[in-house]
């Protein structure tokens, strides 16, 4: 009887473990029935398993990424893209596939488009990203999902990676190095004219898309949905042709072109304000396409207004705008003008980031500095985070940290 009781208990425990593992795996593939699970697709690719022996980096990463804490952290953010993402709508890409694609992109320093093409052409990368024989998510899909990951989640992911590195004895936190560097933003070189063209182009797109919603409400209004992108681009080309010319006549011509571009941008702002009011009056701003247009208007109109004021101050009035108040990109408004004190370009456009590095090449923490803050004051928060992660704020031998 005792043996039977022990056997039954063992069977129950084994069944509970199997069910728990299946539940953990299902959280990575929820509402994605068109995607096979690793248990069904992996045996179909014996050649891939042999090929991974030639890439020890991917093989080690694959073992480390088999961690449900990582996917649970990212899944919480991805589920907030739409209110019913986890329960309604089309089948989406699994969290595991998205996270592994982003890791491959960062590992090889590829663009989103290049990551899509390289993974699609490589059986080894298809195995590593858990895509197998399915269609690789396109670059736009990967970019949109990546933008849903919050900064707090990235810090939590980094802390989890440090924990895994500690468990694997890659690092013990005995050494700590702090370094600040400028991370450039992926934007085109900003000029007042190009920023004005970008603003009119974005707002003209809003006007075109709103015509189907409020066209009847604004019927009879002159130039209600007129787009002036072509006019702005013509002015931009004229400015480029006269960029290398000198003389007072050329300078006056450039100021005249800027005044026309500023007037056009202001007219576009007036049209967008009229469309926004029509969306509110007709009740279209609270659902579907109308809500998305309202969000775009709320995001870009203040930035375009600042670009107009910035261009007028610099070009027409001949004044100056402080570097920390300049807008250098409508899509990455957090970017700042940072003067270089080394060779090469005189300035860079991005943000200053402080990295904490421990032995083993592991980045244990990063911090994007706010305006007016330098890396010289990063020691205190760095030591506090290091003590929280590794349990001590100084080397094990008791000696103080060396600068």
Tell me the pLDDT tens digit for each residue of 239-268: 999 888 888 888 899 999 999 999 999 999
Q: Are the CB atoms for 363 and 357 separated by under 8 Å?
A: yes
pLDDT band at 57 (very low <50, low <70, confident <90, very high): confident
Both tokens of 279, joined, read 């969306």
Cα–Cα distance, 331 to 271 (Å, whole number): 21
Cross-strand partners of 365: 356
Report domain extents, the chain: 2-149, 171-185+335-403, 192-323
| Tokens encoding 98 | 């998205």
Q: pLDDT digit string (tens) for 92-139? A: 788 888 889 999 998 898 999 999 999 999 888 888 888 888 889 999
Taking the C-alpha atoms of residue 122 and residue 132, their distance in angstroms, rounded to an integer, is 10
pLDDT tens digits, one per residue of 304-341:
999 999 999 999 998 999 888 899 999 999 998 888 76
Placement of tokens 């991805």 in the chain: 78
Q: Which of 154-158, 188-192, 326-330 has the lowest average pLDDT?
A: 154-158
Average pLDDT over residues 351-369: 89
Average pLDDT over residues 370-389: 83
Between residues 222 and 177, which one has the greater pLDDT? 177
What confidence score (pLDDT) does residue 7 get? 46
Contact 65, 103 (CB under 8 A): yes
Dihedral, 329, 332, 334, 338 alpha carbons, nearest 10 = -60
pLDDT bin (cut points 50, 70, 90) of residue 149 is confident
Residue 200 CA neighbour count, 13 Å, CB half: 26
Whole-number Cα distances in Å, 217 to 228, 246, 268, 284: 22, 50, 18, 11
* Contact between 152 and 274 (Cβ < 8 Å): no
When pLDDT is cut at 50, 70 and 90, the band that residue 393 belongs to is: low
Structure-block tokens of residue 23? 């539940």
pLDDT over 50 (residue 300): yes
d(CA 82, CA 89): 10
Contact 369/183 with Cβ under 8 angstroms?
A: no
pLDDT on residue 53: 56
Distance CA 42, CA 303 (A): 49
User: What is the average pLDDT value for the chain, to the nearest integer?
Assistant: 80
Separation of alpha carbons 195 and 311, rounded Å: 9
Measured distance between the N- and C-terminal CA atoms of the chain, rounded to whole angstroms: 69
For the segment 72-79, the average pLDDT, to the nearest whole number, is 80
pLDDT value, residue 172: 86
pLDDT of res. 66: 81
Confidence of residue 31 (pLDDT cuts 50, 70, 90): very low
């Amino acid at each position: 009887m005792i043996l039977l009781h022990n056997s039954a208990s063992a069977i129950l425990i084994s069944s509970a473990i199997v069910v728990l593992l299946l539940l953990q795996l299902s959280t990575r593939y929820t509402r994605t029935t068109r995607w096979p699970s690793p248990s069904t697709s992996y045996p179909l690719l014996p050649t891939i398993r042999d090929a991974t022996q030639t890439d020890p980096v991917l093989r080690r990463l694959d073992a480390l990424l088999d961690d449900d804490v990582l996917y649970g952290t990212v899944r919480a953010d991805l589920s907030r893209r739409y209110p019913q993402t986890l329960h309604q709508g089309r089948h989406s890409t699994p969290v595991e596939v998205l996270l592994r694609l982003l890791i491959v992109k960062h590992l090889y320093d590829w663009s989103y488009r290049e990551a899509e093409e390289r993974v699609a052409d490589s059986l080894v990368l298809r195995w590593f990203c858990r895509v197998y024989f399915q269609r690789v998510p396109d670059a736009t899909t990967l970019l949109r999902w990546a933008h849903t990951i919050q900064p707090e989640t990235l810090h939590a992911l980094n802390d989890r990676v440090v924990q895994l590195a500690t468990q694997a004895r890659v690092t013990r936190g005995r050494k700590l190095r702090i370094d600040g560097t400028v991370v450039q933003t992926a934007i085109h070189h900003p000029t007042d004219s190009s920023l004005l063209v970008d603003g009119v182009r974005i707002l003209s797109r809003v006007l075109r898309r709103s015509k189907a919603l409020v066209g009847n409400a604004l019927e009879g209004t002159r130039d209600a949905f007129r787009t002036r992108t072509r006019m702005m681009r013509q002015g931009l080309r004229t400015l480029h042709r006269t960029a290398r010319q000198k003389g007072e006549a050329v300078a006056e011509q450039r100021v005249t072109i800027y005044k026309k571009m500023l007037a056009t941008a202001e007219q576009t702002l007036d049209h967008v304000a009229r469309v926004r009011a029509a969306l509110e009056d007709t009740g279209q701003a609270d659902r579907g396409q109308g809500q998305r247009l309202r969000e775009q208007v709320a995001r870009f109109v203040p930035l375009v207004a600042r670009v107009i004021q910035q261009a007028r101050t610099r070009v027409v009035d001949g004044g100056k705008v402080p570097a920390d108040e300049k807008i250098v990109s409508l899509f990455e408004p957090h970017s700042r003008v940072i003067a270089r004190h080394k060779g090469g370009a005189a300035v860079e456009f991005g943000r200053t980031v402080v990295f904490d590095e421990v032995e083993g090449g592991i980045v244990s923490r990063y911090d994007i500095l706010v305006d007016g803050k330098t890396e010289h004051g990063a020691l205190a928060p760095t030591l506090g985070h290091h003590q929280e992660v590794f349990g001590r704020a100084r080397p094990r031998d008791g000696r103080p940290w060396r600068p």
